[in-house]
Chains A and B, each alone.
Chain A
Amino acid sequence: MSTPDAPAKPALAATPRQNEQMRSKGRSRSVWRLALRDPTTIIGILAAILFAYLIVVPVISMLSDAILVQFGEERRAHAAVGMPTLYYLTRTFSSAVSSDLFWQPLVHTLEVAAGAIILAVAIGGTMAWLLSRTNMLARRWLATALIVPYMLPAWTFALAWTTLFKNRTIGGQLGWLEAIGLSPPDWLAYGQVPITIIMALHYAPFVILLFGNALRRFDSQLEDSARVLGAGTTTVTTQIILPLMLPSLLSAIILIFAKSLGEFGVPYVLGLPVDFDVLSTSLYRNISSRHTGVAAVLAGSIMLIGILSMLVDARLVREARRFVTIGSKGSMNRLSALGPLRLPATGLAFLIFLLSVGLPLATLFLSTIMRQPANFSPDNFTLDFWIGHDLGTVALRTGILLSPDLWNAAWNSLWIVGTASVTSGILGLLVGYVVARTLLWPLAMFLRHVTFLPYLVPGIAFAAAYLSLFAVPRGPIPSLYGTAFILLLALVAEQMPYASRAGISAMMQLGKDPEEAAQIAGAGWLRRMLSIVIPIQKGSLSTGILMPFISGIKGLSLFVILAVPSTDVLTTYSLRLVDYHYTQAANAVVLIIAGLAYFGTLLAQKLTKTNLAEGLGG
């Protein structure tokens, strides 16, 4: 088990690295000889090769697409296929179309992220404080309830939004407001405003969890000491509380920024109708229209911004560690009495819950059992969209539950994500084992960093990298595009940061003793692995499998690029239904995904007795 207050993302802890370096001191030759006889080394080297292929090579392949002439573009680039060119960089950054391709989407991405961050911090910060430091009512229940938006796919809310606000600008069923005669303007129905609001509601749980955690651990005695020295409320707040809370708040902000960078579903559903492009949708457009070179430039840019923000975060974490609170024995967490504001505060928290969970889910559900939008007469209600026959539509003539496509997609989701999660969970444990045990510190360093790399690359850019490498046959490996295999590999790679973090921290905590005891008792390497290491690490292994599984089930950005109709998973299937304007069916599928993700999370927490905060960022 990893510690409950471990950082929410795979952090490169300092201590083991120092160990690695210490181990290296001037005895490398004999170390190598020793290491090569050790199965740990063999496994470590195999793992290193595997991850180099699954993670490093795709990224390099993609980046090289950005500077090599692509097939069919010899004339535009004035060079032969495969020759180096600046054509794609110029086209993306400084041509007549660069504004549409890159600059506008970049500005939109930053604006949406900034708006979402401000809103999420306002909402999440208030809620975190109410939940962890006041005597607000129903805090236990609300503490879980207010996290629910994070358990659901973000574009669940986007679909709910369109169900309510869609106007006549695009085809398909009308939104409820339009249906009752209130025409919502485009700015409210699509584009920046709804995207910002939805992302804010979706990411507010980050703030509640990270900032709330810091608030909960904040020792009231730090405040008390200032007060006995004569500090009033303002001084205490500005000089003691805020400076100490800042790192966790900034961490949450950067996490939101990095996540919103790769967010695809929400801007796809809400931005497309008014041509409001962000970087991820622009990338998607270019991939769909086979502009591989430009797509590579875009993906590289997203990646670069992602890496930069993570570097800033790492720096902040280091800064924060300098004045980390020393394990205070008598630490106290006193709750402020809200007095007459107790009821209004509780009301506000329930309102946030209603707006961010209750209303969207209720809207989605009602939409799936109503023929006409916003018509609440009894004869308008039907279960046809779930279980009906002969629905008079062009395609999908049965209720969604009777459609083989749904079950096909569900099965794909289950087995592809399931297999990937189990694989990455086990690989993560192996990486942890090698990192904790190997005598070769360069090997440990490499494994640690390479498995962390996908964390810096937003899903959609990572998918682009996979497409770039595996869309064509390379050497003995046939083209994987269109097979489930490419999804599987990409998923495994994408989940490695979480899996290897879980594995490394579990193995570091385990120590060598149990295994050495078995070794002395005469157990060989495999025996030790199977009957000592894996059984002991059962708990962390199941966390390392379940958490990625859930985030994989609701994940979209990876699949939307790599899946084809025959390898549709639930998320891409529902997006296809959105494209075909089968509103009820799309909403029903999204509800199924939301249910799976929500109950899966609950189950995982129950089984592994872990806290959701650990799965953050997944």
Chain B
Amino acid sequence: MPTISLRNVEKSYGNGALNAVSDLDLEIGDGEFMCLLGPSGCGKTTTLRMIAGLEHLSGGEIQVGSDKVDDVDAGIFVPPERRGMGLVFQSYALWPHLTIERNTDFGLRLRKVPKPEREARVTEVMQALGIEQYRDRYPSQLSGGQQQRVALARMLAVNPQVLLLDEPLSNLDARLRLEMRAELKRLHEAFKTTIVFVTHDQWEAMTLATTIAVMRDGRLQQVGTPNDIYDRPANRFVAEFVGNPPINLVEMSAAETSTLARALRPVLGERTDVGSVGIRPEALHLATTDAEVPTGAFHVRARISGVLPTGGSWIVEIAAGNDKLFAAAHEPPGFTAGDDVVVWAKPAALHLFNAAGDRLAGLASPDHARKN
């Protein structure tokens, strides 16, 4: 199956506003499960629709395998009906006047697939998605989750080379979402389809994707595996967008007023290029006294302002001077609100960003000098 390449793709809706998508370079490999992740309005849907051929590019080109499907300069544009892709909309967009069966076999009929084959294929797909019993119903008689499956079935029936999914789970309740997520993963493995999945839910992206592309204001921020994105965010935006509870960010420019910035200063040592420091909640540790803190580690005296159990893990809200921190623990923290503690983190766990917010090289961990 083909690779999809986007080169210098631009999209403006010509209404004087900012570009919906700017200078986008993205390679979607064969069999990949690619998540486009970003806040609402960042251009994910637009990108997906351009890949499907539902929007014309304003600049750049898109190639599928060895064929250009879109090239503004060369004037090439392959219409959506000839791209052989499957697209599932956030709102499902089922045809309300057709039964579930007719919705599902629409594409097969267009391809003039003979009736016995068509019925066999429809049955196969419906069974795979568990909607066979609804064959003769209309979309309005199904629940959101069932409609979602029909939308998937409709696209899968024609065996598309690429499956494009636009926030397909966002209208489902939590439990269904979990089920559908597992199902999508299964589908990906079973059908070996290339999937491009749009979501604004970082948790969804982390659990599903083989590769995540983070977007912001129409620009690509970072492409990488879920672990890459989480462990080595390319900039402050990515660091903040991914992770729950969110990363703790400390502005180094506020050193006079911020307890945390003052405490970080000695850890950073000679590093004057650092504009801000990010610490993931689970990288923060709690201790009763300074003595328990490893040498060279970042540490600060603070007070617990709250402990929130979240079922199996705990979020600890901590006040250090005027600053607030979140720590996350997978064991009971052993402190309660009002306790005085020392909060610490290994230097290697600190994410450093320059004044523009871009990632800097981290600090080496002085693991040779452990106390105790």
Complex CA gap A328/B80 in Å reads: 22
Which B residues, 316 to 346, have Cβ-Cβ distances below 8 Å to chain A?
Answer: none
A226 at the interface (CB under 8 A from B): yes
Q: Beta-carbon contacts of A215-242 to B below 8 Å, as 1s and 0s? A: 0000101101111111110010001100
A326 at the interface (CB under 8 A from B): yes
Residues of B within 8 A of A307 (CB): none
Which B residues, 97 to 129, have Cβ-Cβ distances below 8 Å to chain A?
Answer: 97, 106-107, 110-111
Contact A232 B54 (CB under 8 A): no
Q: Which of B85, B86, B93 contacts A221 (CB 8 A)?
A: B93
A96 at the interface (CB under 8 A from B): no
- CB within 8 Å for A326 and B97 given contacts A224-B54, A224-B89, A230-B107: no
Q: Beta-carbon contacts of B141-166 to A below 8 Å, as 1s and 0s? A: 00000010000001100100000001
Q: Which of A229, A239, A328 contacts B154 (CB 8 A)?
A: A229
Contact A244 B97 (CB under 8 A): yes
Which B residues, 40 to 88, have Cβ-Cβ distances below 8 Å to chain A?
Answer: 45, 49, 52-54, 79-87
A322 at the interface (CB under 8 A from B): yes
B95 at the interface (CB under 8 A from A): yes
Which A residues, 286 to 325, have Cβ-Cβ distances below 8 Å to chain B?
Answer: 322-325
Residues of A within 8 A of B154 (CB): 225, 229
Residues of A within 8 A of B171 (CB): 329
Contact A227 B96 (CB under 8 A): no
Contact A330 B97 (CB under 8 A): no
Q: Which of B54, B84, B138 has the most CB of A within 10 A?
A: B54
Measured CB to CB, the closest approach of chain A to B110, in angstroms, equals 5
Contact B81 A229 (CB under 8 A): yes
Which B residues, 261 to 315, have Cβ-Cβ distances below 8 Å to chain A?
Answer: none
Residues of B within 8 A of A326 (CB): 92, 94, 96, 139-140, 147
Which A residues, 374 to 413, have Cβ-Cβ distances below 8 Å to chain B?
Answer: none
Measured CB to CB, the closest approach of chain A to B193, in angstroms, equals 14
A331 at the interface (CB under 8 A from B): yes
A524 at the interface (CB under 8 A from B): no
A478 at the interface (CB under 8 A from B): no
Complex CA gap A246/B90 in Å reads: 26
Q: Beta-carbon contacts of A322-343 to B below 8 Å, as 1s and 0s? A: 1111101111000000000000
Range for the number of chain B residues in contact with chain A: 35 or more
Residues of A within 8 A of B107 (CB): 229-230
Complex CA gap A11/B166 in Å reads: 37
Q: In the complex, which residue of chain B has the Cβ closest to the Cβ of A328?
A: B91
Q: In the complex, which residue of chain B has the Cβ closest to the Cβ of A229?
A: B107
Complex CA gap A330/B171 in Å reads: 10
Q: Beta-carbon contacts of A187-230 to B below 8 Å, as 1s and 0s? A: 00000000000000000000000000000000101101111111
Measured CB to CB, the closest approach of chain A to B164, in angstroms, equals 8
Residues of A within 8 A of B110 (CB): 229-231, 235
Contact A230 B93 (CB under 8 A): no
Which B residues, 190 to 243, have Cβ-Cβ distances below 8 Å to chain A?
Answer: none
Residues of B within 8 A of A232 (CB): 81
Residues of A within 8 A of B111 (CB): 230
A243 at the interface (CB under 8 A from B): yes
Residues of A within 8 A of B86 (CB): 228-229
Contact B96 A323 (CB under 8 A): yes
Contact B93 A227 (CB under 8 A): no
Q: In the complex, which residue of chain A has the Cβ closest to the Cβ of B171?
A: A329
Complex CA gap A370/B355 in Å reads: 80
- CB within 8 Å for A227 and B79 given contacts A322-B138, A330-B166: yes
Measured CB to CB, the closest approach of chain B to A394, in angstroms, equals 64
Complex CA gap A49/B140 in Å reads: 41
Contact B96 A230 (CB under 8 A): no
Contact B81 A230 (CB under 8 A): yes
Contact A219 B158 (CB under 8 A): no
Measured CB to CB, the closest approach of chain B to A448, in angstroms, equals 25
Contact B91 A227 (CB under 8 A): no
- CB within 8 Å for A323 and B80 given contacts A225-B89, A329-B171, A330-B166: no
Contact B85 A224 (CB under 8 A): no
Complex CA gap A308/B11 in Å reads: 54
Complex CA gap A203/B158 in Å reads: 45
Residues of B within 8 A of A331 (CB): 91
Q: In the complex, which residue of chain A has the Cβ closest to the Cβ of B139?
A: A326
Complex CA gap A328/B139 in Å reads: 12
- CB within 8 Å for A324 and B87 given contacts A227-B54, A228-B80: no
Complex CA gap A239/B49 in Å reads: 22
Complex CA gap A225/B92 in Å reads: 9
Which A residues, 484 to 526, have Cβ-Cβ distances below 8 Å to chain B?
Answer: none
Complex CA gap A230/B87 in Å reads: 12
Contact A222 B93 (CB under 8 A): yes
Residues of B within 8 A of A224 (CB): 49, 52, 54, 80, 87, 89, 93
Contact A219 B81 (CB under 8 A): no
Q: In the complex, which residue of chain B has the Cβ closest to the Cβ of A319?
A: B97
Contact A221 B91 (CB under 8 A): yes
Complex CA gap A230/B84 in Å reads: 7
Residues of A within 8 A of B147 (CB): 326
Q: In the complex, which residue of chain B has the Cβ closest to the Cβ of A244?
A: B97
Contact A240 B95 (CB under 8 A): yes
Complex CA gap A461/B55 in Å reads: 55
Residues of A within 8 A of B49 (CB): 224
Complex CA gap A244/B166 in Å reads: 24
Residues of A within 8 A of B93 (CB): 219, 221-222, 224-225, 328
Residues of B within 8 A of A221 (CB): 89, 91, 93
Complex CA gap A331/B139 in Å reads: 16
Q: Beta-carbon contacts of A234-274 to B below 8 Å, as 1s and 0s? A: 01000110011000000000000000000000000000000
Q: Which of B84, B85, B92, B170 has the most CB of A within 10 A?
A: B92
Residues of B within 8 A of A328 (CB): 91-93
Residues of B within 8 A of A239 (CB): 106
Contact A229 B91 (CB under 8 A): no
Q: In the complex, which residue of chain B has the Cβ closest to the Cβ of A329?
A: B91
Q: Which of A226, A324, A330 contacts B140 (CB 8 A)?
A: A324
Q: Which of B82, B87, B90, B106 contacts A329 (CB 8 A)?
A: B90
Contact B138 A323 (CB under 8 A): yes
Complex CA gap A222/B95 in Å reads: 6
Q: In the complex, which residue of chain A has the Cβ closest to the Cβ of B142?
A: A326
Residues of A within 8 A of B84 (CB): 230
Complex CA gap A324/B167 in Å reads: 23
Residues of B within 8 A of A231 (CB): 81, 106, 110
- CB within 8 Å for A227 and B81 given contacts A323-B97, A328-B92: yes
Q: In the complex, which residue of chain A has the Cβ closest to the Cβ of B54?
A: A224
Complex CA gap A591/B316 in Å reads: 76
- CB within 8 Å for A228 and B91 given contacts A323-B96, A323-B139: no
Residues of B within 8 A of A322 (CB): 138, 140
Measured CB to CB, the closest approach of chain B to A234, in angstroms, equals 11
Measured CB to CB, the closest approach of chain A to B47, in angstroms, equals 15
Contact B82 A325 (CB under 8 A): no
A-B contact pairs, 8 of them (CB 8 A): A221-B91, A225-B93, A228-B52, A228-B54, A228-B85, A243-B97, A326-B94, A330-B91
- Extra 15 A-B pairs, beta carbons < 8 Å, given A226-B106, A240-B95: A221-B91, A222-B93, A224-B87, A225-B154, A228-B87, A230-B107, A231-B81, A232-B81, A244-B95, A323-B138, A324-B140, A325-B96, A326-B147, A328-B92, A330-B45
Which residues on B are within 8 Å of A, measured CB to CB? 45, 49, 52-54, 79-87, 89-97, 106-107, 110-111, 138-140, 147, 154-155, 158, 166-167, 170-171
**In the A-B complex, the 6 residue pairs with the closest CB atoms:** A328-B91, A221-B93, A229-B107, A323-B96, A330-B90, A330-B91
